[in-house]
Structure 1
């Protein structure tokens, strides 16, 4: 394991510089591998030591580097020490590298590989509430919600694997003026018969129709406002229609979540907080934070000089609450209920201003925990179209990904031997969607490209799945060869060393992902691992090798397979064993 080597190097540094070995752990990192190039395994950043006050921050940095490298000695763990540019490089004993890195895989510790690293000791593990997906009721699940769903799921998976107590919450848009429109519109254009046949499609059609009508028709707008007011006043007819819409939608969404392999601990929604929203208004009033604007709306002044140059509206002139009022109430309620240590909201970047205001108002209300709330913004997806047309519903995208993947798979002979090619095509299609989405920084917009996304070659989710299935097949074909022990000296070729050097970075990649909540680090790590495995398949055959060589190589391949599967699961991808 990487932590064994990091610890050993840190111990020697601690003795040499008379400091605690823990002080050196953050400054040590595994060196990124380049194909076929022999390089050191770890590097120590001299700038990090200067920043931490372990070395003087004024001297010549290169002289400090060379001086420290000269003081350090080779030992049973480290076989070479050299000075680079402002880093000290360490090359560890090759046989020990093979032994320590592959040891855990023989002991049923595959699932925990890399997760017990000392790097994670600094993480403040506690309760993390992640709010993601959060679609609007009575509207079809739009492709735009896909990003929030898979990014939130990744963050929840990552935190959970690192030992946090994670609460996964879906906060549905199930209240507000849109329901006024839908309620009034359903009375005119809706049909209970059509609602039974294709619930969300019908509600979507009603919504489009009533919106068009309301554009030029004041009476329609008024009818919508009246319906929403009846809803806020709990009039039974309005509430029962609203309830019907909500149940239908949650039911439909759950089918999609199941396909995506996503689950929630809690389905909440704006409707849960309308009473508390009125309490929030009273609290704002009693703290002197609520002002009345010229238009008669209730606002909170957020301008630094308290001159009303920047305000946030929390109450309509007719006294009904807004989205942000309910968000304030929801945040306070969650802190009381779940006593979270951090709360993460995953929505598109257009809502950044909303969350800035939300956190600012909470702080001014004396809710100091608002500092531990975070918004993770993401960009837009351009060009996501299905063959049939423009408005893209997620269900159609998933169906098309599955169909295209099934077509691609049908060209290979192994597909015919599968128990359930459709299920495999579904999982691989979803992997392709996820990897295309996660390769770059989350805040960037990206252009959706069906053909590139579904290629087997190149950096795609299909390539990840293909590599995993190929490794599983290798292990299956050599059942009985794998043994409890193996000889590390039989894995000293540069090809296998390069894979192990790459695996040294696994815990660092997870640590980095936990810092900035970006999946790209893990995606790129796994894609690189797949490229290295592809070379190893060619250069380290298991079949036709002597038994002890076959055993050693199989240990390497099954270890790589475990790390690949663990990483894929954190990303929200279900690994397939056959393809």
Structure 2
């Protein structure tokens, strides 16, 4: 949102220093709003240390800063110029800045914003494939899969908002020895009736039983190996049962993802790449990369110097492993989608797996391997429902909705609404997402139902409450036409602080795109909510003179628009009433 002013100040600096404007754009930023801010200023600053060689690196930086500031002239746009530590601050014409910020945001609150900042020009555009969620069929859908789902969804939303073509892929764990166990187990413990009634629960129960049986019964383990071998050899009976398990599981998951507001363009899986695996093995052999150990397993030696790094790609019986299928999948995706980047979202325990995957792709001659990235995340500790351990994601969503519904029914602030359960579900999911996104993704965190669902403080409930309150304000002042407004009437400190903060929105999205961390955007939105609460108290719309009411309504409409837009990028569905 600082684009117009950034370009103008960059031009001013470029003329003074006889350099290209583009050198200065990345060094410009909106000055953050600080607590106890006394002056109602709208300011941009330029960091001399980030001007990409436009200024000599040697010499006294502070003297250079002050010398440059003295050469710059004030005009109708820049009303004041001051220096800080290696920084020049520009105070912008308040009326002009308020107008330029609010005009593109319109008078509605739909949350769709066109982004035109020059900062985004440096970001690579193209096709981004994001692989996320990726639960294992018939196994427990644990907290890590929830994290992968919401983090991957955020990354896909962010990339899309910045103009990339995004392919959202769910790569199901639908192959491997677990299906040998499940196939063998179903003939022993399975029930077609229970499979129809509660598919995920029943498959999970069968899997638990057969695992216990296999621990002390060699025959069960042999039957499991035999079933998996039948699958790998494409025998019809085994494939038919496997296909049935897969279809009903995908159908169940789609229902849960819909509740989360998450969708996928492609449901893929390890099974899709079985034929390709043999081709990968041949390529590894032809390049002299595949070695056989004394135990008969196939390995690729990635060791460098005295650092041992050996990766097993085949079992002794010739069946494939997870990494073999991942190699085949990556090659297949590059050929099919011609991606400009591929992002895998999994927990940090798989970091070594992905390092080996990318290394193997490189040594196989696939130069595009450097466009593949792993976004790791930490563990969630203590995620339990009232009944105990979480088995499926649906248990968590049900609990979040139930607890939120209870909180809403006890609150005097709750408004009448058409579908309280739907609102409780959306707000409960917001609370889950906000608790998860507060810190760096790689950090572990302790799950806390009570803190998560608090209405006060930096929570998803507070975020939704602020959005609903702004929607209510816009509805209550429906008779006020804010299509045209006088920006000079937004002169109070609390209103200017909101504007100054809105100025940073593009920068925050740019920062998020650099490291794919949602905390930057979340913290921006939470601060916007606090600043909006102050402005809401100080700047009444109803009962104010017509022109002042128009300007204030436009400020709150624009704020609502940015809040809704940012929430949707995070994967939060904004509610209009609560």
- Please give the TM-score of this superposition, normalised by the length of structure 2: 0.98
Question: 2 CA distance for matches of 1:121 and 1:331?
Answer: 28
Whether 2:229 is the aligned partner of 1:235: answer: no
CA offset at residue 221 of structure 1? 1.4
CA offset at residue 310 of structure 1? 2.1
What's the counterpart of residue 78 of structure 2? Answer: 78
Matched ranges for 1:20-35 at <5 A:
20-35=20-35
CA offset at residue 107 of structure 1? 7.4
Q: Is the 8 A contact 2:155 2:516 kept in 1?
A: yes
What's the counterpart of residue 403 of structure 2? Answer: 404
Question: 2 CA distance for matches of 1:351 and 1:82?
Answer: 49
CA offset at residue 109 of structure 1? 10
CA offset at residue 111 of structure 1? 4.8
Q: Please, which of 35, 44, 63 is the counterpart of residue 42 of structure 1?
A: 44
> Residue 208 of structure 2 aligns to a residue in which SS?
helix
What's the counterpart of residue 205 of structure 2? Answer: 205
Question: 2 CA distance for matches of 1:107 and 1:3?
Answer: 21
Matched ranges for 1:166-565 at <5 A:
166-305=166-305, 309-412=308-411, 415=414, 417-565=416-564
- More divergent stretch after superposition (285-294 vs 107-116): 107-116
CA offset at residue 157 of structure 1? 0.4
Question: 1 CA distance for matches of 2:100 and 2:148?
Answer: 39
Q: Is the 8 A contact 1:36 1:498 kept in 2?
A: no
1:276-312, CA deviations, whole angstroms, 9 ceiling, x for partnerless residues? 011100000001100111211110010014x893210
CA offset at residue 235 of structure 1? 1.4
CA offset at residue 97 of structure 1? 1.6
CA offset at residue 35 of structure 1? 3.2
- More divergent stretch after superposition (329-338 vs 142-151): 142-151
Q: Is the 8 A contact 2:111 2:563 kept in 1?
A: no
Q: Is the 8 A contact 2:378 2:445 kept in 1?
A: yes
Q: How many residues align?
A: 576
Q: Is the 8 A contact 1:344 1:373 kept in 2?
A: yes
> Residue 459 of structure 1 aligns to a residue in which SS?
coil
Q: Is the 8 A contact 1:410 1:416 kept in 2?
A: no
Q: Is the 8 A contact 2:474 2:553 kept in 1?
A: yes
> Residue 129 of structure 2 aligns to a residue in which SS?
strand
- More divergent stretch after superposition (409-418 vs 117-126): 409-418
Question: 2 CA distance for matches of 1:247 and 1:496?
Answer: 54
CA offset at residue 413 of structure 1? 5.0
Whether 2:112 is the aligned partner of 1:116: answer: no
CA offset at residue 371 of structure 1? 0.4
CA offset at residue 329 of structure 1? 0.3
Q: Structure 1's 107 and 557: CA in aligned 2 closer, same or farther, altered over 3 A?
A: closer
Question: 2 CA distance for matches of 1:195 and 1:90?
Answer: 67
CA offset at residue 46 of structure 1? 1.0
Question: 2 CA distance for matches of 1:416 and 1:518?
Answer: 34
What's the counterpart of residue 96 of structure 1? Answer: 96
Q: Structure 1's 457 and 416: CA in aligned 2 closer, same or farther, altered over 3 A?
A: closer
- Greater RCO, 1 or 2 (C-alpha within 8 Å, sep 6+): 2
- More divergent stretch after superposition (345-354 vs 102-111): 102-111
Question: 1 CA distance for matches of 2:207 and 2:441?
Answer: 31
Question: 2 CA distance for matches of 1:421 and 1:396?
Answer: 19
Question: 2 CA distance for matches of 1:29 and 1:424?
Answer: 37
> Residue 171 of structure 2 aligns to a residue in which SS?
strand
- More divergent stretch after superposition (85-94 vs 140-149): 140-149
1:388-437, CA deviations, whole angstroms, 9 ceiling, x for partnerless residues? 01244211110111011111111235646210010000000000000100
Whether 2:135 is the aligned partner of 1:141: answer: no
Question: 1 CA distance for matches of 2:82 and 2:112?
Answer: 33
Question: 1 CA distance for matches of 2:377 and 2:244?
Answer: 32
> Residue 19 of structure 1 aligns to a residue in which SS?
coil
1:127-171, CA deviations, whole angstroms, 9 ceiling, x for partnerless residues? 000000000112343332100000000000000011001000010
Question: 1 CA distance for matches of 2:576 and 2:113?
Answer: 20
CA offset at residue 191 of structure 1? 1.2
Q: Is the 8 A contact 1:14 1:20 kept in 2?
A: yes
Question: 2 CA distance for matches of 1:505 and 1:477?
Answer: 29
Q: Structure 1's 215 and 507: CA in aligned 2 closer, same or farther, altered over 3 A?
A: same
CA offset at residue 112 of structure 1? 5.1
Question: 2 CA distance for matches of 1:483 and 1:316?
Answer: 69
Q: Is the 8 A contact 1:132 1:347 kept in 2?
A: yes
Question: 1 CA distance for matches of 2:109 and 2:125?
Answer: 22
Q: Is the 8 A contact 1:7 1:25 kept in 2?
A: yes
Question: 2 CA distance for matches of 1:391 and 1:106?
Answer: 44
- More divergent stretch after superposition (32-41 vs 253-262): 32-41
1:522-579, CA deviations, whole angstroms, 9 ceiling, x for partnerless residues? 0000000000000011111112211111111000001000000000000011100000
Q: Structure 1's 109 and 200: CA in aligned 2 closer, same or farther, altered over 3 A?
A: closer
Q: Is the 8 A contact 2:351 2:374 kept in 1?
A: yes
> Residue 24 of structure 2 aligns to a residue in which SS?
helix
What's the counterpart of residue 566 of structure 2? Answer: 567
Question: 2 CA distance for matches of 1:141 and 1:107?
Answer: 42
Q: Structure 1's 244 and 260: CA in aligned 2 closer, same or farther, altered over 3 A?
A: same
Question: 2 CA distance for matches of 1:108 and 1:537?
Answer: 18
Q: Is the 8 A contact 1:129 1:167 kept in 2?
A: yes
CA offset at residue 216 of structure 1? 2.1
Q: Is the 8 A contact 2:341 2:371 kept in 1?
A: yes
CA offset at residue 488 of structure 1? 1.2
- Please give the TM-score of this superposition, normalised by the length of structure 1: 0.97
Q: Structure 1's 376 and 308: CA in aligned 2 closer, same or farther, altered over 3 A?
A: closer
Question: 2 CA distance for matches of 1:2 and 1:55?
Answer: 23
Question: 2 CA distance for matches of 1:177 and 1:21?
Answer: 59
